[in-house]
Amino acid sequence: MKTDVVTGGAGFLGSHLCERLLAENHTVVCIDNLITGSLENIEHLFGNERFRFIHYDVTNFIHVPDDIQYVYHFASPASPIDYLKLPIQTLKVGSLGTHKALGFAKAKKARFLISSTSEVYGDPEIHPQVEEYWGNVNPIGPRGVYDEAKRFSEALTMAYHNYHGLQTRIVRIFNTYGERMRIDDGRAIPAFLSQALRGEDVTVFGDGSQTRSVCYVSDLIDGIYRLMLSDYHLPVNIGNPEELTMLQLAKEIIALTGSRSAIVHKELPVDDPRVRQPDISKARELLQWEPRVNRAEGLRRTMKYFKSKLGL
């Protein structure tokens, strides 16, 4: 039986991907240096004989002796709080890590999928964002370490596809939420949920009019799995096209938790995108995919997880 490799497999998204692949009867090798991932995310998989974990930094040479079918490159800090704290590691895993993962896939004659991001669009001048849009990114701003790491990783992936004939896939992931997000993740939903559940003030940056489109994690993973199995090598947006403001999201979470938290406003971070909404026409057409879990249900499931983590 051939094996799948998931780099960053102990992270929020990577752990859910490992779980899905095992459910589809794949053998999975999860590689993670645990810089932002956690063994807690995958410890329930250790009893599965088709699952192996390797504690390793993929910016170094990657070796797995198995016959490899698919390589999913998910290794990277992904939240602003992480990549602002780990700027060089973020750039290294997007460049050196992607290079090592691509070289490994090439040596194994495996199909390769890079987890890119809606952040390649920067603060977009086109709305909603289509895959053909080249983006509006500040390369020397604080968010540039993540944005440019992902843009470079896409370029390197296409170079391996065009020059070496490697089978490659590129997914552009839009805002995703669900179980196994860290309480101190720094992104909106973990921050709002943890603050509301503790009865603290809920912090909204700016006036809260900036928008995001949030996708529940099981929907995202389903789209990624379908993309890997498809014949399409150009970027595909995977996310929920239902757009809402951050102020609206904060109010929804306060209502969901039954909290009496007040909303307080803080200064908007530098280069924070004003809008974010995927055009998922390609995913619908090529993958027959669209999100199925509505926001109310997704937030309810996520709240249950956060309550358990907070001991509530």
Active site residues: 146
Q: Which strand (E) or helix (H) includes residue 202?
A: strand 202-205
In this structure, the dihedral spanned by the alpha carbons of residues 81, 87, 93 and 96, taken in order and rounded to 10 degrees, is 170
| Tokens (6 digits) for 202 | 């809920």
Structure tokens at 126: 């086109």
Both tokens of 74, joined, read 């998910």
In sequence order, the β-bridge partners of residue 213 are 243
Percent of the chain that is helix, strand, coil (3-state, to 5): 40, 20, 40
Owner of token pair 């997007």: 94
The CA–CA distances, whole Å, from 140 to 64, 124, 149, 280 equal: 36, 17, 12, 29
Quick check: helix, strand or coil at residue 268? Answer: coil
End-to-end CA distance of the chain, in Å? 43
Are the beta carbons of 218 and 226 closer than 8 angstroms?
no
Between CA 158 and CA 167 the distance in angstroms is 10
